[in-house]
Amino acid sequence: MATEAKMIREANQIATFFHSKHHDEGVAGIAEHLNKFWAPRQRRQFFDMIDAGGEGFDELVIEASATVWRPEPVAS
């Protein structure tokens, strides 16, 4: 739970910055940022939440999720 709240906060913080760009540029910026800096583990948790409806995320984050790379499933 704590993790989810933190993930929402961090993603939305990023989105807040990209709100000051043009819409398309902002969406692309968020996706690029997550691809560049978030480890697969984080993106996996991210997609778990997005796939479950993405409640709490900034709408720009949800839009950007379409171009965030989906990490390969964990081999365990």
Partner 1 sequence: MKNPMSLIREIDYGTPASTSETLVTLNVDGFEVTVPEGTSIMRASMEAGIEIPKLCATDMVEAFGSCRLCLVEIDGRNGTPSSCTTPVTPGMVVHTQTEKLKKIRRGVMELYISDHPLDCLTCAANGDCELQTQAGVVGLRSVRYNVDANHFTPKVRGESNFRYMEKDESNPYFTYDPSKCIACSRCVRACEEVQGTFALTIEGRGFESRVSAGAHESFIDSDCVSCGACVQACPTATLMEKSVVEIGIPEHSVVTTCAYCGVGCSFKAEMRGDELIRMVPFKDGKANRGHSCVKGRFAYGYASHPDRITKPMVRDSIDQPWREVSWDDAYAFVADRFASIQKTHGIDSIGGITSSRCTNEETYLVQKLVRQGFGNNNVDTCARVCHSPTGYGLGQAYGTSAGTQDFDSVEHTDVIVLIGANPTEAHPVFSSRMKKRLRAGAKLIILDPRQIALVRTPHIEAQFHLPLQPGTNVAVITAMAHVIVTEALYDEQFIRERCDWDEFEEYMEFVTDLRHSPEVVEGLSGVPSETIRGAARLYATGGNGAIYYGLGVTEHSQGSTTVMAIANLAMLTGNIGRPGVGVNPLRGQNNVQGACDMGSFPHELPGYRHISGEDVRNIFEEEWGVTLVKEPGLRIPNMLDAAVEGTFKGIYIEGEDILQSDPDTHHVAAGLAAMECVVVHDLFLNETANYAHVFLPGSTFLEKDGTFTNAERRINRVRKVMAPKNGFADWEVTMGIANAMGLNWTYTHPSEIMDEVARTTPSFAGVSYDHLDEVGSVQWPCNEKAPLGTPIMHIEGFVRGKGRFINTEYVATDERSGPRFPLLLTTGRILSQYNVGAQTRRTANVIWHEEDVLEIHPHDAEQRGINHGDLVSLASRAGETSLRADVTERVAPGVVYTTFHHPDTQVNVITTDFSDWATNCPEYKVTAVQVALATGRSNWQEEYNQQAEQSRRIEHDGELIHGD
User: According to the binding rule CB under 8 A, does residue 39 interact with partner 1?
Assistant: yes
Quote the CA–CA distance of 59 and 48 in Å, as a whole number.
17
**Candidate list 8, 27, 38, 57; residue touching partner 1; CB under 8 A:** 38
At its nearest, how many Å lie between partner 1 and the CB of residue 36?
6
Contact 26, 19 (CB under 8 A): yes
User: According to the binding rule CB under 8 A, does residue 24 interact with partner 1?
Assistant: no
Closest CA to 6 of 53, 51, 28, 38: 38
Quote the CA–CA distance of 52 and 39 in Å, as a whole number.
20
- Site stretch for partner 1 (CB under 8 A), options 40-48, 49-57, 59-67: 40-48
Contact set with partner 1 (CB under 8 A): 3, 6, 9-10, 13-14, 16-17, 19-21, 33, 35-42, 71, 74-76
